Amino acid sequence: MTDQTSEHLDTRPARQPPGATGLDPDVEGLYRLLLSRSDATVAQLAADSGHSIEHVRTVLARLVDEGFATMVADSRFRAVGPDAVLGGRIASQLGEVLGEYEALRELLEIHRAGPGTGASGDWEVVTGAVAIRSRLRQLKAGAEHSLRTFVRPPMVLPVPEDRLHQDLQARGVCHKILFDRTILDIDPYAEYLQHALASGDEVRFAKRLPLKLLVVDERTIVMEEPGEGRPRAIVTANRSIAELACTLFEQLWSSGIPATSAASDGVRIAEDDAVLLGLLIAGLTDQSIASKLGIGLRTVQRRVRELMDLADVDTRIQLGWHAAKNGWVP
Protein backbone atom coordinates (compact mmCIF):
# COMPACT_ATOMS: atom_id res chain seq x y z
CA MET A 1 0.00 0.00 0.00
CA THR A 2 1.44 3.38 -0.96
CA ASP A 3 1.76 6.32 1.38
CA GLN A 4 -0.75 8.23 -0.76
CA THR A 5 -3.35 5.45 -0.39
CA SER A 6 -2.72 5.22 3.34
CA GLU A 7 -3.21 8.95 3.72
CA HIS A 8 -6.48 8.75 1.78
CA LEU A 9 -7.86 5.96 3.99
CA ASP A 10 -6.77 7.64 7.20
CA THR A 11 -8.67 10.83 6.35
CA ARG A 12 -12.02 9.16 5.67
CA PRO A 13 -14.68 10.17 8.18
CA ALA A 14 -15.43 7.59 10.85
CA ARG A 15 -18.57 5.57 10.20
CA GLN A 16 -21.33 6.53 12.61
CA PRO A 17 -23.60 3.98 14.30
CA PRO A 18 -26.90 3.26 12.50
CA GLY A 19 -30.12 4.98 13.55
CA ALA A 20 -33.55 3.43 14.05
CA THR A 21 -33.93 2.86 10.28
CA GLY A 22 -30.79 0.71 10.19
CA LEU A 23 -28.97 3.34 8.12
CA ASP A 24 -25.98 5.43 9.15
CA PRO A 25 -27.07 9.02 9.94
CA ASP A 26 -25.27 10.30 6.83
CA VAL A 27 -27.02 7.75 4.59
CA GLU A 28 -30.40 8.29 6.25
CA GLY A 29 -30.04 12.03 5.70
CA LEU A 30 -29.70 11.54 1.95
CA TYR A 31 -32.64 9.10 1.96
CA ARG A 32 -34.81 11.73 3.66
CA LEU A 33 -33.74 14.27 1.04
CA LEU A 34 -34.59 11.86 -1.77
CA LEU A 35 -37.97 11.09 -0.18
CA SER A 36 -38.97 14.75 -0.47
CA ARG A 37 -38.55 14.65 -4.27
CA SER A 38 -40.24 12.66 -7.02
CA ASP A 39 -36.75 11.77 -8.25
CA ALA A 40 -33.38 13.50 -8.47
CA THR A 41 -30.02 13.34 -10.18
CA VAL A 42 -26.73 12.80 -8.42
CA ALA A 43 -25.74 16.39 -9.18
CA GLN A 44 -29.01 17.78 -7.74
CA LEU A 45 -28.65 15.79 -4.55
CA ALA A 46 -25.03 16.82 -4.20
CA ALA A 47 -25.95 20.48 -4.55
CA ASP A 48 -28.83 20.22 -2.06
CA SER A 49 -26.95 18.17 0.52
CA GLY A 50 -23.63 20.03 0.31
CA HIS A 51 -21.68 16.80 -0.35
CA SER A 52 -19.46 15.96 -3.28
CA ILE A 53 -20.86 14.14 -6.29
CA GLU A 54 -18.56 11.19 -5.60
CA HIS A 55 -19.81 10.92 -2.00
CA VAL A 56 -23.48 11.15 -3.05
CA ARG A 57 -22.96 8.53 -5.74
CA THR A 58 -21.45 6.15 -3.16
CA VAL A 59 -24.31 6.71 -0.70
CA LEU A 60 -26.93 6.25 -3.43
CA ALA A 61 -25.35 2.95 -4.42
CA ARG A 62 -25.72 1.79 -0.83
CA LEU A 63 -29.36 2.94 -0.70
CA VAL A 64 -30.06 0.96 -3.87
CA ASP A 65 -28.28 -2.13 -2.49
CA GLU A 66 -30.33 -1.99 0.73
CA GLY A 67 -33.64 -1.42 -1.05
CA PHE A 68 -34.21 2.21 -0.05
CA ALA A 69 -33.86 3.62 -3.59
CA THR A 70 -34.05 2.65 -7.25
CA MET A 71 -32.24 3.95 -10.30
CA VAL A 72 -34.78 5.25 -12.82
CA ALA A 73 -32.26 6.52 -15.38
CA ASP A 74 -28.54 7.05 -15.68
CA SER A 75 -27.56 9.18 -12.68
CA ARG A 76 -31.24 9.65 -11.66
CA PHE A 77 -32.69 7.99 -8.56
CA ARG A 78 -36.04 7.62 -6.79
CA ALA A 79 -36.73 6.75 -3.13
CA VAL A 80 -38.59 3.55 -2.28
CA GLY A 81 -41.54 4.24 0.05
CA PRO A 82 -40.64 3.66 3.73
CA ASP A 83 -43.70 1.43 4.16
CA ALA A 84 -42.30 -0.99 1.60
CA VAL A 85 -38.73 -1.05 2.85
CA LEU A 86 -39.23 -0.67 6.61
CA GLY A 87 -42.58 -2.25 7.40
CA GLY A 88 -41.43 -5.85 7.32
CA ARG A 89 -38.16 -5.10 9.11
CA ILE A 90 -39.86 -3.32 11.97
CA ALA A 91 -42.50 -6.01 12.40
CA SER A 92 -39.73 -8.60 12.74
CA GLN A 93 -37.81 -6.58 15.34
CA LEU A 94 -40.44 -5.98 17.99
CA GLY A 95 -37.92 -5.85 20.79
CA GLU A 96 -37.24 -2.28 19.66
CA VAL A 97 -40.63 -1.59 18.12
CA LEU A 98 -41.45 1.70 19.79
CA GLY A 99 -38.33 3.56 18.66
CA GLU A 100 -38.52 2.11 15.18
CA TYR A 101 -42.22 2.88 14.91
CA GLU A 102 -41.52 6.54 15.61
CA ALA A 103 -38.86 6.57 12.90
CA LEU A 104 -41.22 4.94 10.43
CA ARG A 105 -44.02 7.36 11.20
CA GLU A 106 -41.73 10.35 10.65
CA LEU A 107 -40.52 8.98 7.32
CA LEU A 108 -44.08 8.25 6.21
CA GLU A 109 -45.03 11.86 6.81
CA ILE A 110 -42.14 13.07 4.64
CA HIS A 111 -43.17 10.60 1.94
CA ARG A 112 -46.85 11.60 2.14
CA ALA A 113 -46.03 15.31 1.79
CA GLY A 114 -43.60 14.82 -1.10
CA PRO A 115 -44.50 15.39 -4.76
CA GLY A 116 -43.78 11.76 -5.70
CA THR A 117 -46.62 10.20 -3.71
CA GLY A 118 -49.24 10.85 -6.35
CA ALA A 119 -52.95 10.28 -5.88
CA SER A 120 -52.75 6.65 -4.79
CA GLY A 121 -55.40 7.06 -2.10
CA ASP A 122 -53.21 5.25 0.43
CA TRP A 123 -53.09 8.19 2.82
CA GLU A 124 -55.59 10.63 4.26
CA VAL A 125 -55.05 13.39 6.81
CA VAL A 126 -58.04 14.44 8.93
CA THR A 127 -57.85 17.66 10.96
CA GLY A 128 -59.99 18.74 13.91
CA ALA A 129 -61.91 16.83 16.60
CA VAL A 130 -65.26 16.98 14.76
CA ALA A 131 -63.79 15.71 11.49
CA ILE A 132 -61.85 12.96 13.26
CA ARG A 133 -64.97 11.88 15.14
CA SER A 134 -66.95 11.68 11.89
CA ARG A 135 -64.24 9.66 10.12
CA LEU A 136 -63.82 7.30 13.07
CA ARG A 137 -67.56 6.69 13.21
CA GLN A 138 -67.63 5.93 9.49
CA LEU A 139 -64.74 3.48 9.76
CA LYS A 140 -66.16 1.76 12.86
CA ALA A 141 -69.59 1.44 11.25
CA GLY A 142 -67.98 -0.38 8.34
CA ALA A 143 -66.10 -2.87 10.51
CA GLU A 144 -66.77 -6.52 9.65
CA HIS A 145 -65.11 -8.48 12.43
CA SER A 146 -62.74 -6.51 14.70
CA LEU A 147 -61.75 -3.17 16.18
CA ARG A 148 -58.62 -2.56 18.24
CA THR A 149 -58.05 0.73 20.00
CA PHE A 150 -55.29 2.47 21.94
CA VAL A 151 -56.74 5.14 24.28
CA ARG A 152 -54.50 7.62 26.07
CA PRO A 153 -54.71 11.23 27.29
CA PRO A 154 -55.39 13.87 26.13
CA MET A 155 -58.76 12.70 24.78
CA VAL A 156 -60.51 15.07 22.40
CA LEU A 157 -63.42 12.80 21.46
CA PRO A 158 -66.68 12.24 23.38
CA VAL A 159 -67.85 8.97 24.88
CA PRO A 160 -68.64 6.44 22.10
CA GLU A 161 -72.22 6.32 20.81
CA ASP A 162 -74.37 3.60 22.37
CA ARG A 163 -76.38 2.89 19.21
CA LEU A 164 -73.29 2.37 17.06
CA HIS A 165 -71.76 0.23 19.76
CA GLN A 166 -74.88 -1.95 20.00
CA ASP A 167 -74.99 -2.34 16.21
CA LEU A 168 -71.38 -3.50 16.16
CA GLN A 169 -71.97 -6.03 18.93
CA ALA A 170 -75.09 -7.33 17.17
CA ARG A 171 -72.97 -7.96 14.08
CA GLY A 172 -70.38 -9.84 16.12
CA VAL A 173 -67.63 -7.23 15.81
CA CYS A 174 -65.04 -7.87 18.53
CA HIS A 175 -63.67 -4.68 20.13
CA LYS A 176 -60.48 -4.67 22.18
CA ILE A 177 -59.65 -1.44 24.03
CA LEU A 178 -56.23 -0.87 25.58
CA PHE A 179 -56.09 2.13 27.93
CA ASP A 180 -52.94 3.92 28.96
CA ARG A 181 -52.90 3.44 32.74
CA THR A 182 -52.53 7.19 33.38
CA ILE A 183 -56.21 7.56 32.48
CA LEU A 184 -57.05 6.13 35.91
CA ASP A 185 -55.68 9.29 37.50
CA ILE A 186 -57.76 11.81 35.52
CA ASP A 187 -61.30 12.45 36.79
CA PRO A 188 -62.73 13.96 33.57
CA TYR A 189 -62.12 10.64 31.80
CA ALA A 190 -64.12 8.60 34.31
CA GLU A 191 -67.26 8.56 32.10
CA TYR A 192 -65.32 7.26 29.10
CA LEU A 193 -63.71 4.56 31.23
CA GLN A 194 -67.01 3.55 32.84
CA HIS A 195 -68.62 3.23 29.42
CA ALA A 196 -65.83 0.94 28.24
CA LEU A 197 -66.01 -1.24 31.35
CA ALA A 198 -69.81 -1.57 31.10
CA SER A 199 -69.88 -2.15 27.34
CA GLY A 200 -68.97 -5.81 27.27
CA ASP A 201 -65.86 -5.07 25.20
CA GLU A 202 -62.49 -6.52 26.13
CA VAL A 203 -60.64 -3.87 28.16
CA ARG A 204 -57.07 -3.87 29.42
CA PHE A 205 -54.65 -1.34 30.87
CA ALA A 206 -51.09 -0.78 29.64
CA LYS A 207 -48.32 0.88 31.60
CA ARG A 208 -47.58 3.18 28.64
CA LEU A 209 -48.94 3.54 25.12
CA PRO A 210 -46.85 5.17 22.38
CA LEU A 211 -49.76 6.77 20.48
CA LYS A 212 -53.51 6.79 19.86
CA LEU A 213 -54.52 4.13 17.39
CA LEU A 214 -57.54 2.42 15.83
CA VAL A 215 -57.20 -0.74 13.74
CA VAL A 216 -60.27 -1.75 11.71
CA ASP A 217 -60.44 -5.36 10.49
CA GLU A 218 -56.63 -5.59 10.39
CA ARG A 219 -56.65 -3.59 7.14
CA THR A 220 -57.28 0.10 7.94
CA ILE A 221 -55.61 2.13 10.66
CA VAL A 222 -56.09 5.58 12.15
CA MET A 223 -53.24 7.03 14.19
CA GLU A 224 -52.63 10.36 15.81
CA GLU A 225 -50.25 12.78 14.18
CA PRO A 226 -47.99 14.36 16.83
CA GLY A 227 -47.76 18.11 17.15
CA GLU A 228 -49.28 21.17 18.75
CA GLY A 229 -52.53 22.85 17.80
CA ARG A 230 -55.64 21.21 16.37
CA PRO A 231 -55.70 17.41 16.58
CA ARG A 232 -54.82 15.58 13.37
CA ALA A 233 -55.03 11.95 12.39
CA ILE A 234 -53.59 9.86 9.57
CA VAL A 235 -55.78 7.21 7.95
CA THR A 236 -54.19 4.50 5.80
CA ALA A 237 -54.98 1.11 4.35
CA ASN A 238 -51.35 0.42 3.48
CA ARG A 239 -50.82 -3.30 4.07
CA SER A 240 -47.33 -3.07 5.58
CA ILE A 241 -48.34 -0.39 8.05
CA ALA A 242 -51.57 -2.18 8.97
CA GLU A 243 -49.59 -5.36 9.69
CA LEU A 244 -47.15 -3.38 11.82
CA ALA A 245 -49.97 -1.72 13.76
CA CYS A 246 -51.62 -5.10 14.43
CA THR A 247 -48.35 -6.56 15.66
CA LEU A 248 -47.71 -3.55 17.91
CA PHE A 249 -51.21 -3.78 19.34
CA GLU A 250 -50.98 -7.49 20.09
CA GLN A 251 -47.60 -7.11 21.76
CA LEU A 252 -48.83 -4.42 24.13
CA TRP A 253 -52.21 -6.13 24.61
CA SER A 254 -50.55 -9.36 25.74
CA SER A 255 -48.74 -7.51 28.54
CA GLY A 256 -51.76 -5.41 29.56
CA ILE A 257 -53.73 -5.93 32.78
CA PRO A 258 -57.33 -7.13 32.15
CA ALA A 259 -59.84 -4.69 33.62
CA THR A 260 -62.72 -7.09 34.15
CA SER A 261 -60.93 -10.26 35.21
CA ALA A 262 -61.78 -11.47 38.70
CA ALA A 263 -58.64 -13.57 38.87
CA SER A 264 -56.12 -12.68 41.52
CA ASP A 265 -52.55 -11.89 40.61
CA GLY A 266 -51.48 -14.56 43.11
CA VAL A 267 -49.75 -12.04 45.40
CA ARG A 268 -50.56 -12.19 49.11
CA ILE A 269 -50.05 -9.19 51.35
CA ALA A 270 -49.90 -9.03 55.14
CA GLU A 271 -53.10 -8.37 57.06
CA ASP A 272 -51.86 -5.06 58.42
CA ASP A 273 -51.02 -3.92 54.86
CA ALA A 274 -54.55 -4.88 53.79
CA VAL A 275 -55.96 -2.73 56.61
CA LEU A 276 -53.70 0.16 55.58
CA LEU A 277 -54.88 -0.17 51.97
CA GLY A 278 -58.51 -0.22 53.06
CA LEU A 279 -58.05 3.06 54.92
CA LEU A 280 -56.19 4.57 51.97
CA ILE A 281 -58.97 3.58 49.52
CA ALA A 282 -61.54 5.00 51.97
CA GLY A 283 -59.90 8.39 51.48
CA LEU A 284 -58.05 8.87 54.76
CA THR A 285 -54.91 10.99 54.75
CA ASP A 286 -51.54 9.48 55.59
CA GLN A 287 -51.60 11.27 58.96
CA SER A 288 -55.07 9.89 59.78
CA ILE A 289 -53.97 6.38 58.81
CA ALA A 290 -50.89 6.71 61.00
CA SER A 291 -53.03 7.80 63.97
CA LYS A 292 -55.55 4.98 63.52
CA LEU A 293 -52.86 2.31 63.18
CA GLY A 294 -50.61 3.77 65.89
CA ILE A 295 -47.59 4.03 63.61
CA GLY A 296 -45.47 6.90 62.32
CA LEU A 297 -46.30 9.00 59.26
CA ARG A 298 -43.07 7.99 57.55
CA THR A 299 -43.89 4.32 58.15
CA VAL A 300 -47.25 4.79 56.38
CA GLN A 301 -45.56 6.51 53.43
CA ARG A 302 -42.87 3.83 53.22
CA ARG A 303 -45.39 0.97 53.28
CA VAL A 304 -47.54 2.64 50.62
CA ARG A 305 -44.45 3.04 48.45
CA GLU A 306 -43.56 -0.63 48.95
CA LEU A 307 -47.10 -1.68 47.99
CA MET A 308 -46.93 0.48 44.85
CA ASP A 309 -43.66 -1.22 43.92
CA LEU A 310 -45.21 -4.63 44.55
CA ALA A 311 -48.16 -3.78 42.31
CA ASP A 312 -45.85 -2.15 39.72
CA VAL A 313 -47.93 1.03 39.59
CA ASP A 314 -47.02 4.70 39.55
CA THR A 315 -49.76 6.40 41.59
CA ARG A 316 -51.96 5.72 44.61
CA ILE A 317 -55.10 5.70 42.47
CA GLN A 318 -53.60 2.94 40.36
CA LEU A 319 -52.64 1.11 43.57
CA GLY A 320 -56.24 1.25 44.78
CA TRP A 321 -57.54 -0.11 41.47
CA HIS A 322 -54.95 -2.89 41.47
CA ALA A 323 -55.68 -3.81 45.10
CA ALA A 324 -59.44 -3.98 44.56
CA LYS A 325 -59.10 -5.99 41.36
CA ASN A 326 -56.74 -8.56 42.84
CA GLY A 327 -58.41 -9.09 46.19
CA TRP A 328 -55.84 -7.28 48.31
CA VAL A 329 -58.63 -5.64 50.29
CA PRO A 330 -61.91 -7.16 51.56
Query: Lowest-confidence range among 29-43, 108-122, 239-253?
Result: 108-122
Residue predicted with more confidence, 162 or 236: 236
Protein fold of 15-113: Arc Repressor Mutant, subunit A (1.10.10)
Q: What is the pLDDT of residues 264-301, one digit of tens each?
A: 455 677 777 887 887 787 677 888 888 888 889 999 99
Fold of 271-325: Arc Repressor Mutant, subunit A (1.10.10)
Residue 217: pLDDT band (50, 70, 90) is very high
Q: Which region holds residue 67: left if phi is over 0, alpha if psi is between -120 and 50, else beta?
A: left
CATH (residue range 123-258): 3.30.870.10
Closest CA to 315 of 155, 196, 207: 207
pLDDT single digits (tens) 114-147: 554 443 456 788 888 888 888 888 999 899 999 9
User: Which residue ranges does the chain devote to CATH 1.10.10.10?
Assistant: 15-113, 271-325
DSSP state at residue 182: G
pLDDT > 70 in the chain, percent = 74
Provide mean pLDDT across the span 311-330. 78
CA 250 to chain centre: 12
Task: Measure the CA–CA gap between 330 and 319, rounded to whole angstroms.
Answer: 15
Asked whether residue 12 carries a pLDDT value surpassing 70, the answer given is no
Q: pLDDT tens digits, residue range 239-249?
A: 888 888 888 89
